[in-house]
Chain A
Amino acid sequence: MDSVARRLSAVGAGAALELRGVTRLFGALAALTDVTITVRPGERRAVLGSNGAGKTTLFNCITGDFPPTSGTIRFFGEDVTHFPPYERIRRGLRRTYQISALFPGLTVQDNVYLACRGVSRGRFSFLRPGQNDALMHAADGLVQAVHLSAVKDQRVAELAHGQQRQLEIALALAGAPRFVLFDEPAAGLSPTERVELVEILTSLPAHIGYIIIEHDMDVALRVVESVTMMHNGRIFKEGLPEEIQSDPEVQELYLGGGHE
Chain B
Amino acid sequence: MSVTHDAHIQVRNPASTAQRPAARAWPDINNPAAWIVAAILLIMPLIANGFFLIEIFATTLILGTIALSLMFLAGYGGMVSLMQLTIAGFAAYMVAVFGVSGNANISLGWPWWLAVPMALMLATIFGTLGGALAVRTEGIYTIMITLAIGAAFYYFTNQNWAIFNGHTGINNVGTPHFWGVDWRWDIPFYYVVLAVAAICYFAVDYISRAPFGLALQGVRDNPRRMAALGFNVNAHRVAAYAVASFIAGLAGVLQVWNYRQISPGSVSVGACIDVLIIAVVGGITRPVGPYIGALVFVLLRTFALDFLVKIGLDGNRFRLLIGLGFLAIVFWSSDGVIGLWQRWRQSYYSQSDRPAGGRGHG
Contact = CB atoms under 8 A, between A and B. Distances in A.
B22 A124 contact: no
Contact of A103 (B13, B218, B230): B218
B229 A109 contact: no
A156 to B, nearest CB: 9
A105 B215 contact: no
A79 interface: no
B230 to A, nearest CB: 3
Interface string B19-43: 0101010000000000000000000
A65 B218 contact: no
B228 A101 contact: yes
A124 B236 contact: yes
Contact of B229 (A89, A104, A105, A128): A89
B218 A127 contact: no
A128 B232 contact: no
A78 interface: no
B199 interface: no
A174 B231 CA distance: 13
Given A114-B214, A153-B22, A174-B229, A65 B209 contact: no
Nearest to A101: B225
A31 interface: no
A90 B17 CA distance: 33
Interface string B206-241: 110111101101101110111111111100100100
Contacts of A155: 16-17, 20, 22
Contacts of A158: 13, 17
Nearest to A157: B16
Nearest to B229: A118
A241 B230 CA distance: 33
Interface in A87-106: 89-90, 94-95, 97, 101-106
B222 A125 contact: no
A119 B228 CA distance: 10
A118 B223 CA distance: 13
Contacts of B221: 102-106
A158 B232 CA distance: 28
Contacts of A117: 211, 214-215
A126 B212 contact: yes
A101 B225 CA distance: 6
Given A101-B222, A126-B207, A106 B217 contact: yes
B230 A86 contact: yes
A85 B231 CA distance: 9
Given A103-B218, A124-B239, A127-B210, A86 B227 contact: yes
A63 B228 CA distance: 8
A95 B17 CA distance: 29
A123 B227 contact: no
A61 to B, nearest CB: 13
A115 interface: yes
Contact of B22 (A94, A109, A115): A109
Given A94-B228, A106-B221, 13 more contacts: A95-B228, A101-B224, A101-B228, A102-B225, A107-B22, A117-B215, A118-B229, A122-B211, A123-B231, A123-B232, A125-B212, A126-B206, A175-B230
